[in-house]
Structure 1
């Protein structure tokens, strides 16, 4: 399956563009960030300085699986903004959207984990090594959303109760389920709509000798409930899945969400609050957010 990535770069019309997108119902967009800049050569500071002077307008990035909807949006925006708006369109594999920002990956080092390619020779020291097969799929550790989620799990999932169940929705490489295993979860499950991603996840299970059920599809049956659910996917799909995720979360359980930028967090929090879920913790990694929400007791 492919997702369409639409990058909108305004030239003096940003406020009007945002207002028009809201009128058309496009509130799930990602604002441009510093992720693609090299902090070592001073690019990041130059970017920040230009933004603070008002000399730079951030691009907005929209994702959708529906080509007809995107074509209609492009037509509408071209008619209104003309040359004031640069529009870039491309198709990317749903399973590799995270690599659009950081194509290179060596290792992710956190407080407790060392997540690397399975052929990496670095010494993890006292950290738990998680070996991953290289592959352009979700969760290899190279993107800020995965990094933020792992660090969030270290904080809020460090002491799961005996027998606690963990569900990883959109598991990709299976890395979050592997992290959950080493944090102490006894019962793991992963889902993904992409057979190729599930194949990679199975190979990573083998590399780390941590087996757990993998299901092709978005979610397990509704009668399956979990103490903790993690979901690191695109905002439009994430928002759509929230009611079903809440249904599968035990009262008092943790819902861990990532895959969105700071610009997108408030609509997600409002949708979660309407379902009786409250923010407990957040981690911000270069403008990308991982949220821990608790489901209030029934």
Structure 2
């Protein structure tokens, strides 16, 4: 049976694109397209391309709730945002139900093989790649879940993760919080982790991630669970949290509690204007760092727990 989603279409000024996409994500948006370019999470236009002054965006929400309620929530949130994004108001907003295949297939037009660091290749299932030397390949069919490696936050996490496997000792136990498509968990297993746990509270993300785990033949090392972080047991050599800044802060106690001595904590999904909020929140923990990397408007923070 085809899955139905609510499609919210909005006309957005270019200067407010990132802010609008971020707010829609916080409301539970499962994916966004801008003009006819599908984005893997919330991404700014290619800076090398000719950027128009306005964009038509489509945001996709699960149909668990009422369409009128969803429209009201989006309208209220964006009207509040209008004071920060000149030109956003008055809103031009449309809402309609759509079938999943009407937009999920759009990934194939915009996702191609990507090299991360020295060894890691992330590629879609419909492309061929012959690994050379010690390259490792992650095959991905993102479906409706976030994460292809092309978005700034995902790429920052993958680069940080890949760097950990270029030096000894390599991490063997990895936790991926908010696993989405499973890309970070699968990459960790491909790079050498022996036990990887990916958790996500979204049922669709867990389903897609499990499919991608099986696709890559790492089911013996990667487990995907819908259980919340608070219920998970054990400690880890690496914890990845590619989630929103506020969620990183909220889960700070739970994230740091599961760090093994000498382990790495990699946080992303953080807009630059919220970097200070996160670093201030994590300053109270016994951690070295952070090392900070940026891509476009996104930030990745890398901490190390003392051995």
Bigger relative contact order (CA 8 A; separation at least 6): 1
Q: Hey, what does 1:204 align to over in structure 2?
A: 212
**Is the alpha carbon distance of 1:276 and 1:38 closer, same or farther for their aligned partners in structure 2, counting shifts above 3 Å?**
same
Against the structure 1 CA distance between its residues 243 and 71, is the aligned structure 2 distance closer, same or farther, given a 3 Å change threshold?
farther
SS at match of 1:254: strand
1:262 Cα deviation from its structure 2 partner? 2.0
SS in 2 for 1:43: coil
CA distance in 1, matches of 2:11, 2:273: 15
Q: Which residue of 1 aligns with 2:124?
A: 117
Superposition deviation, residue 73 in structure 1: 6.0
For the residues of structure 1 that align with 2:171 and 2:302, how far apart are their CA atoms? 20
Give the drift of 1:224: 1.7
Deviation of 1:214 after TM superposition, in Å, equals 1.5
Distance in 2, Cα, partners of 1:269 & 1:7: 34
1:37 pairs with one of 42, 46, 54 = 46
Confirm or deny that 1:228 pairs with 2:234: no
1:89-104 maps to which residues of 2 (within 5 A)?
104=110
Q: How does 1:145-224 map to 2 (within 5 A)?
A: 145-159=153-167, 161=169, 164-211=172-219, 212-219=222-229, 221=231, 223-224=233-234
Output the TM-score relative to the length of structure 1: 0.67
Query: Structure 2 residue aligned with 1:138, among 137, 146, 154?
Result: 146
Q: Deviations over 1:166-186 (max 9, x none)?
A: 101111221111221233222
Matched, 1:285 2:295: yes
Matches of 1:217 and 1:167 in 2, distance apart? 13
Q: In the comparison of the two structures, how many residue pairs are matched?
A: 253
Higher helix share: 1
Which deviations, in whole Å up to 9, do the C-alpha atoms of 1:129-172 show, x marking residues without a partner? 11112413122222111111111112234346477311011112
Q: Secondary structure at the match of 2:188?
A: helix
Q: Distance in 2 between matches of 1:139 and 1:77?
A: 26
Q: In structure 2, the residue corresponding to 1:290 is in which secondary structure?
A: strand
Q: Does 1:260 align with 2:270?
A: yes
| CA drift at 1:264 | 1.8
* Cα displacement (A) at 1:217: 2.7
Change (3 A) 1:74 1:104: closer
* Residue number in structure 2 paired with 1:108: 114
Unaligned runs of 5+ in 1: 15-32, 48-55, 57-65, 92-101
Distance in 1 separating the partners of 2:152 and 2:131:
20
Residues 43 and 152 in structure 2, CA contact (< 8 A), matched pair in contact too: no
Question: How far, CA to CA, are the matches of 2:249 and 2:139 in structure 1?
Answer: 31
Aligned match for 1:241, one of 233, 251, 257: 251
CA RMSD of aligned residues (A): 4.3
TM-score, scaled relative to structure 2: 0.66
1: distance between equivalents of 2:9 and 2:260?
35
Displacement after TM superposition at 1:121 (Å): 2.0
Offset at residue 258 of structure 1 (A)? 1.1
Contact 1:169 1:230 survives alignment (8 Å): yes
Return 5+ residue gaps in structure 2 as ranges.
Answer: 17-41, 54-68, 96-107
* C-alpha contact 1:169 1:192 (8 A) present in aligned 2: yes
Q: Which moved more, 1:139-148 or 1:217-226?
A: 217-226
